[in-house]
Structure 1
Amino acid sequence: MAASLLKYRILPTARIGIDELRSYVVRTFGWETWRQTSAQLQETINHIRQFPASGHAPPELEGFFEDGFRQALSGKNRIIYQVRDDTVFVHLVVDVRRDLPSLLQRIVLRLM
């Protein structure tokens, strides 16, 4: 019997990352590539919803937070998430080649 899927919520910080990723992919590779990338992201989120403990702690966040942040890879992108109760909170969607500490600093400054 398949495990039930947790609910999920895409947070504003992740939505910004998805929008930036879409703009880059469409501009560089076209809409068909974006459709494939988007489908792959959704497939990865569904996997996380079914197996939330399958991700691992992002090395850049180890020791900074005790709230159980995890990441899953989706093609060349990282999905950074947290599970609370019966919900997966997607915090970031970011290219694996991006400098995560610099990105986090930029996000924090944007929120201040």
Structure 2
Amino acid sequence: MSLSINILRGAEQDLNDLKKYLLREFSVGAWQNSYQLIKQGLAQISSFPESGSIPPELEHLGFSNYKQIIVGKNRIIYELNNAAIYVHIICDVRRDMPTLLNKRLFLS
């Protein structure tokens, strides 16, 4: 059974920022490859929402309803909530995650 995926505003902005960065610094091909991997990752979590791992930054805080998957050089952090998935973050794996999580999850 597939769950519906809701990409939250912050994650949409992440995707737009990633696109701008890859087009500016690399190429259209780099963006297309990254975007394809992200779409595949979203399809994976829709079909297998428990397949992700708990982000280490959240695990010690007891946030077991948040999961992540790594696709290419990007992390997709999502929340399992009843029959839906809420994507909070789509970012480069090298991003300062504690700061981003604080801004996105704890202050929202």
Is the TM value for this pair above 0.5? Answer: yes
Structure 1 residues 75-86: aligned runs within 5 Å: 75-86=72-83
Match of 2:5 among 8, 18, 39: 8
Query: CA offsets per residue over residues 2-24 of structure 1, 9 Å max, x none?
Result: xx321101001111211111111
Larger Rg: 1
Give % identity. 34
Bigger drift between 45-54 and 30-39 goes to 30-39
Query: CA offsets per residue over residues 59-96 of structure 1, 9 Å max, x none?
Result: 01123353510000110000000111221110100111
Counterpart of 2:16? 19
Amino acid at match of 2:22: V
Q: What secondary structure does 2:18 align onto?
A: helix
Counterpart of 1:90? 87
Distance 1:35 1:107, change over 3 A: same
Give 4+ residue runs of structure 1 displaced > 3 Å after superposition: 105-111
How many residues align structurally? Answer: 108
Q: Tell me the CA shift for residue 39 of structure 1.
A: 1.1
Counterpart of 2:51? 54
Q: Is the 8 A contact 2:46 2:85 kept in 1?
A: yes
Counterpart of 2:65? 68
Q: Is the 8 A contact 2:65 2:81 kept in 1?
A: no
Counterpart of 2:39? 42
TM-score, normalised by the number of residues in structure 2: 0.88
Match of 1:100 among 86, 97, 101: 97
For structure 1, the 5+ residue unaligned runs are none
Amino acid at match of 1:25: L
